[in-house]
A and B are shown apart, each in its own frame.
Chain A
């Protein structure tokens, strides 16, 4: 878990130093839920429904989610303090890890026990917290790897180029189009290992889009990305929504969450503790407790400098809201 992207403003009323400066106000999708915005509340049109998913590592319960629904066609943020189980839940939902128990469905189809590659083929594509660019492949090869249903990926048909040459050309054109959008087209023949950290994040996102996914799951897309690239990444994520994709992302950067997310799910100690509109959810006592601890407003004589980054981040946000 890296916390280095959590904004640490200069003070409660001071300017935001590393926060995101929105170029245009994104259009928020509202009216996603039925009833009160409480943990596990029903959505109008859920794309991902999770029931009783539990994962323990020895004595530690990393994830214990009773019920949660991810709304379709919206940007949902999964937030929570370090160790809340966000990445573990991601791994469970994408088939990279197996839960001790539980059921979850994607687009109405059950995903329990489905291996990761099949989950990806169903249109639920993920990226990783630690970027996984394939270093010794060119940027273009990285992109082409993302395309699905390739004839030439069968061992025997691979030996007959006439069977897959046309498809390859189509994929290449599509990849080039995506690379141009992500401003990586000039790098297409370089090894992915030669890209900067932020460019690798862009490449990973572009590669995921090669398969035309319906649900894009981004694990800390902003971790280790410099502020200049952050804006462009944000725009790309907003673009995904405007193209009809659903986005679920894990993030520590609260400003970014508030800026682009339509819905926020807060996890703490493996459980979903709050859900709601990004502006409302930050005021939820359960969220404040999760980040600050239950006794945050009692003076117990502690040195203020001992506050964690999470604490200062959320306090800053609460002040911003006023």
Chain B
């Protein structure tokens, strides 16, 4: 068994752009669920809008990177408004139902053949990376050390992705310790009480939905840059993985989603490498290599269950300030 390769492959995930994308999406969900108490089950929809908004703007309309970025963000603001206007006046569970359905609608719209010339239908889109790569100030060559050695494009992508994550984390940290964040946390506790104190609860919930959704959208763009945009990536399971990351790290925390994402991806990669090699080595004779590919999700699930059972507030959560166990 090549433990070195297993650990080194797992370590790669620690700073991979995918980890950064999940961290950012989970941070958006922390704003929604952890701080405001909004049950958004459509984070995958926000991510899809980011990925497609970016890719379509560049491929179909030939926008520059910043233009494509703004299109994605604009689409997500619009999406949040459409979701929020009818549902934010209702009880929290309605938002959950509407968001999960809306995210599926978004994915199916991108999948349908009707718009195949623009969206690429089920095959998705690719070939939108040159514009981003052209901004790379790094000279060709390899950068980094050990498992973190990458070529110039991948290094540039990692720098940008994690810079955005750090910026977003600082933004969330600052805004949640401001009076705005105090109102938001008050809404999580009891929105009628906050309303009785003269705050426009509806507007605050809308702002929170947009803010967290935009973070999810930017995460979708980061997620799309190392791979192609394929609609099947944006299924409901994506939202649930992000929820798993959020609960793992701590719902109403800033560091939680980031560290949670790192742990999630390192564990996933570790189990995947370990199980595949264990099957090769004949340790698991009852299992084919295809079955082994699914086993990693079971093991990650068990690991997350253990954390949630024995540390329900998440890794960074304050045991008292916990939205989902009372």
Contact = CB atoms under 8 A, between A and B. Distances in A.
B171 A117 contact: no
Contacts of A191: 320-321
Interface stretch (A3-11, A143-151, A235-243): A143-151
Interface in A155-173: 155, 158-159, 161, 164, 168
Contacts of B180: 152-155, 158
Contact of A125 (B179, B192, B197): B197
B198 interface: yes
B296 interface: no
B173 to A, nearest CB: 11
> Which of B181, B186, B190, B197 has most A Cβ within 10 Å?
B197
B200 A135 contact: no
A127 B193 CA distance: 8
> Which of A133, A134, A193, A211 has most B Cβ within 10 Å?
A134
A136 B183 contact: no
A24 to B, nearest CB: 31
A132 interface: yes
B195 interface: yes
State the majority secondary structure of interface residues on B. helix
Interface in B273-322: 320-322
B211 A145 contact: no
A255 interface: no
A126 B188 CA distance: 20
Interface in A264-296: none
A116 interface: yes
Given A117-B195, A125-B197, A161-B178, A155 B211 contact: yes
A96 interface: yes
A51 to B, nearest CB: 24
Given A152-B179, A152-B180, A120 B189 contact: no
B192 A117 contact: no
A152 B178 contact: yes
Contacts of A135: 189
B1 interface: no
A193 B321 CA distance: 10
B215 to A, nearest CB: 14
Contacts of B207: 155
Given A137-B189, A155-B211, A144 B200 contact: no
Contacts of A193: 320
Interface residues of B, number: 30
A117 B185 CA distance: 17
A136 B189 contact: yes
A132 B201 contact: no
B114 interface: no
Interface string B191-219: 01111111111000001000100000000
Contact of B182 (A127, A141, A151, A208): A141
A199 B200 CA distance: 27
A158 B200 contact: no
A121 interface: yes
Given A120-B197, A120-B198, A207-B197, A132 B190 contact: yes
B179 A164 contact: yes
A67 B269 CA distance: 72
A170 to B, nearest CB: 12
B175 interface: yes
B182 A144 contact: yes
A182 interface: no
A94 interface: yes
> Which of A127, A133, A150 has most B Cβ within 10 Å?
A150
Nearest to A121: B198
Contact of A153 (B183, B188, B321): B183
Given A150-B179, A153-B183, A136 B198 contact: no
Interface string A294-317: 000000000000000000000000
Nearest to A132: B193
Name the 10 nearest CB pairs between A and B, nearest first.
A152-B179, A158-B180, A120-B198, A132-B193, A158-B178, A134-B189, A121-B198, A153-B179, A116-B195, A132-B190
Given A134-B185, A159-B174, A208-B196, 6 more contacts: A96-B195, A118-B198, A125-B198, A137-B186, A137-B189, A191-B321
20 contacts: A120-B198, A125-B196, A134-B186, A134-B189, A134-B193, A137-B186, A145-B183, A152-B179, A153-B179, A153-B180, A153-B183, A153-B199, A155-B180, A155-B207, A155-B211, A158-B178, A158-B181, A168-B179, A208-B196, A208-B197
